[in-house]
Structure 1
Amino acid sequence: MSSKITIIGAGSVGSTIAYTLSNEDIASEIVLIDINKKKVEGEVMDIAQGTCFRDPVSIIAGEYEDAKDSDIVIITSGIARKPGQTRIELTQTNVNILKSITPEIVKAAPNAIYIIVSNPVDIMTYVFTKISGLPENQILGSGTMLDSARLRCGLSEHLNIAQKNIHAYVFGEHGDTSFIPWSGAYVSGVSLDEYYETVEKMGRNVTKIDKDAMLEYVRTSGGQVIANKGATFYAVSVAVCKLVATILSSSDSVATVSSMMHGEYGIEDVCLSTLTLVGPKGVQGKIPMRMTKEEVEKLKASADALKAVIAQIEH
Structure 2
Amino acid sequence: MPNNKKVILVGDGAVGSAYAFSLVNQGIGNELGIIDVDKRRTEGDALDLKHALPFLSPMKVYSADYSDCGDADVICITAGTAQKPGETRLDLVSRNLRILKSILGEIMKTDFNGIFLIAANPVDILSYATMKWTGFPPERVIGSGTSLDTARLRQTVAELIDVEAGSVHGYVLGEHGDSEFIAWSNIRIGNLPIESWTGPLDAEKKEAVLAKVRDAAYYIIERKGATAYGVASALARITRVILNNENAVLPLSVYMDGSNYGLNDVYVGTPAVLGANGVVKIAEVPLNEEEQKAMENSAGVLREILDDSFIPIDNEK
TM-score (norm 1): 0.92
Aligned residue number for residue 186 of structure 1: 188
Q: 1:26 to 1:109 in 2, by over 3 A?
A: farther
The equivalences for 1:115-126 within 5 A come to 115-126=117-128
Q: Which residue of 2 aligns with 1:213?
A: 208
How has the CA–CA distance of structure 1 residues 220 and 84 changed in structure 2, closer, same or farther, with 3 Å as cutoff? closer
**Residue of structure 2 equivalent to 1:251:** 246
Q: For residues 188 and 55 of structure 1, do their structure 2 counterparts lie closer, same or farther at Cα, with a shift above 3 Å needed? A: same
Q: Which residue of 2 aligns with 1:239?
A: 234
Give SS of 1:55's match: coil
1:193: how far off?
2.4
Tell whether the 8 Å contact from 1:88 to 1:312 is kept in structure 2 after alignment.
Answer: no
Distance 1:196 1:227, change over 3 A: closer
Partner of 1:312: 308
Take 2:188 and 2:12, find their aligned partners in 1: how far apart are those partners?
38
What is the alpha-carbon distance in structure 2 between the residues aligned to residue 175 and residue 88 of structure 1? 8
Deviation at 1:275? Answer: 1.6
**Distance (whole Å) between structure 2 residues aligned to residue 24 and residue 256 of structure 1:** 21
When normalised by structure 2's length, the TM-score is: 0.91
1: distance between equivalents of 2:229 and 2:87? 25
SS in 2 for 1:7: strand
* Alpha-carbon contact 1:247-1:281 (below 8 Å) kept: yes
The alpha carbon displacement at 1:247 in A equals: 1.2
CA distance in 2, matches of 1:143, 1:81: 16
Deviation string for 1:5-64 (max 9, x for gaps)?
100011111111111111122111100001111111111121112212122211110110
Match of 2:12 in 1: 10
Matched, 1:273 2:256: no
Matched residues in 2 for 1:272 and 1:102: separation? 21
Alpha carbons of 1:39 and 1:130: their partners in 2 closer, same or farther (altered >3 Å)? same
- What does residue range 1-315 of structure 1 map to in structure 2 within 5 Å? 3-82=5-84, 90-196=92-198, 210-263=205-258, 264-313=260-309, 314-315=313-314
Q: Alpha-carbon deviations, 1:78-130, whole Å to 9, x = none?
A: 00145787866621110001111113213325221110000010000011011
Tell me which amino acid in the other structure corresponds to 1:255.
L
- Cα 1:88–1:20 change in 2 (3 A) is closer
Give the CA deviation at 1:299.
Answer: 0.4
CA deviations 1:281-300 (Å, max 9, x no partner) are: 21112112211111001000
Amino acid at match of 2:253: S
- One-letter code of the match for 1:164? G
Q: Partner of 2:255: helix, strand, or coil?
A: strand
State the AA in 2 paired with 1:220: D
SS at match of 1:311: helix
Q: In the TM superposition, what is the alpha-carbon distance from 1:260 to its structure 2 partner?
A: 0.8
Q: How many percent identity over aligned positions?
A: 36
8 Å CA contact 1:70, 1:109 repeated in 2: no
Native 8 Å contact 1:9 1:77 kept in 2: yes
Change (3 A) 1:87 1:166: closer
- What are the ranges of 5 or more consecutive residues in structure 1 without an aligned counterpart? 198-205
Deviation, 1:215, is 0.2
Q: Once the 2 structures are TM-superposed, how far is the Cα of residue 225 of structure 1 from its aligned partner?
A: 0.6
C-alpha RMSD of matched pairs (Å)? 2.0
CA offsets, 1:141-181, max 9 Å, x none? 00000000000000000111121111111000000000001
CA 1:149–1:83: 2 relative to 1, 3 Å: closer
SS of the aligned residue for 2:163 comes to coil
Residue 305 of structure 1 aligns with an amino acid whose one-letter code is V
- Distance of aligned partners of 1:22 and 1:133 in 2 relative to their CA distance in 1, 3 Å threshold: same
Contact 1:4-1:71 at 8 Å conserved across structures:
yes
CA contact (8 A) 2:146 2:175 kept: yes
Q: Deviations over 1:205-259 (max 9, x none)?
A: x998921100000011111011111110011101100111111224311111001
Distance in 2 of aligned mates of 1:282 and 1:241: 15
